[in-house]
Structures are given as structure tokens and as C-alpha cells.
Amino acid sequence: MKLREVHTDQELEKVYGDGQGFREKGFDFTYRMNVLSSAVRLCLDRFTIESIADLACADCLPIASSIVVGQELPALHLGDFAKVNVANAKQLFKQYKSLTYYHGRIEDTVDEIPKVDLFILNEILELVSEPEKVLSKIKTRARYVVVLTPCNEKKREDGFNNCWSWNYDDFKKMLVRANFIPMMGQLIQFDFDTIFKNNYQLWILS
């Protein structure tokens, strides 16, 4: 279900132009990032991962917190609508095989990256104009994908919504239409009044 129109470039610049965006400080944000990081670590442990892409990486924290200290980093392809803070990224990733940066909307930059072993989609699909099209593009470029997105988001009176809302089953159907095989799905439910009043869902795909 579409909740609102997609941000224009000018609107995105106001919100995400500094590379930080809106960063929640609450328990639910910290928990979501921990769950996402655990899923990335699981992929690193269980599969042969030599390259990772995150084209909405903001401050790179989910990737950074997923890397075991001392582990040789795979090739990283980092991007965002805001220009990636290169100095910050190099400080976070002191060991890496290669580090490549992309600037722009994920709808465009996904066409610029080479094939990768793991693609991270951290709370970005709900903000793009054609989420299923983006998923289909990613399927041609990634062996595995970790996705975190809201679940069953409700339209707010103040209009402070993401662009798209989907429940667990409908989102799974969209993943299958994009030719993914869902390996694991997890509902993240908060029984208290969070900032965005959202629950979330996490998926590992092949």
C-alpha cells in the first residue's frame, strides 16, 4: 500500500544531505540495528562472502558492527544519496580488500555495482518509487540479501510516513515475484510506543 509520494531530490537533500539522516536514539532503533548486524554476521559465518554492497549505508554502522574484530574484510561497495563520509568509512574499515563509493539514489547506483556476494537493504525499500523493480535488479547482482523494512506501517495523521507499507505475507510475495528464495524471515514487534510507531521484518534471501 502506498502511503505517500516519494521524496524529490531536494527533499532528500534536506533530510539526508549530511550523510546522517534522522537517527533515532531509542531502544527500538538500537535493537533493530543489532538484529540486522546479527543477520549480516550469520551470512559472513555461514557463506563464502568476498564482497558486500550497501547503497543506503548512511554512517555505515550496521556493516561496521557486523565485522568481527581482526577479520579480513571483503570488498565493500558503499553508497548513499548523501556522499559517503570517506574518512569515517576508512576509520571504521581499517582492514579491507577494496573500498568503492557510489553517490545517488539506490535505484540508479544498483546499476553501477559489480556482482556481489551479499547485499544489505537497511530500511530503504519503503522509500523508493518502485521497490519491486529495485529488488529485481538486486537479484541479478547479489547471491544473498539481508533486508530490514517496516511491517504493516499505518498512515499517520501528521504525514510522517515512509512511502510504502506492507505486511509480512505481502512482502514475502513481493520477494518471491522478484525471484528471491526467502531463507529466513523474522517479525520484530515492539509492545511500546516507539518514535515511528512501527514494527519491522527482517529477511535473509538467496
Please write the tens of the pLDDT for every residue from 64-123. Answer: 666 654 566 678 898 888 776 667 776 777 666 788 889 889 999 999 999 999 999 998
* pLDDT score recorded for residue 178: 98
**What percent of the chain shows pLDDT beyond 70?**
68
pTM score, whole prediction: 0.86
User: Is the pLDDT score of 191 beyond 80?
Assistant: no
Whether residue 136 is predicted with pLDDT greater than 90 in this model: the reply is yes
12 pLDDT higher than 70: no
**44: pLDDT strictly greater than 80:** yes
Report which listed range, 82-86, 155-159, 174-178, 189-193, is most confident.
Answer: 174-178
Coarse DSSP helix, strand, coil percentages of the chain, rounded to the nearest 5 percent:
35, 25, 45
pLDDT for 33: 84
28 — pLDDT class (breaks 50, 70, 90): confident
- Ordered DSSP codes for 193-204: --SS--EEEEEE
Grid cell digits, residue 7: 521524496
pLDDT for position 98: 80
Vertex 101 angle, CA 109 and 138, to 5°: 35
Distance CA 151, CA 189 (A): 9
Nearest by Cα to 67 from 118, 141, 18: 118
Q: Is the pLDDT of residue 150 over 80?
A: yes
Q: How confident is the model at residue 126 (pLDDT cuts 50, 70, 90)?
A: confident
pLDDT band (50, 70, 90) for residue 27: confident
Question: 3-state secondary structure string, 74-99?
Answer: CEEEEEECCCCCHHHHHHHCCCCCCE
> What pLDDT, on the 0 to 100 scale, is given for residue 193?
61
Alpha carbon distance 42, 191 (integer Å): 27
Q: Which residues contact 12 (CB under 8 A, 6 or more apart)?
A: 81, 105
The CA-CA-CA angle for residues 8, 180, 103, to 5°, reads 35
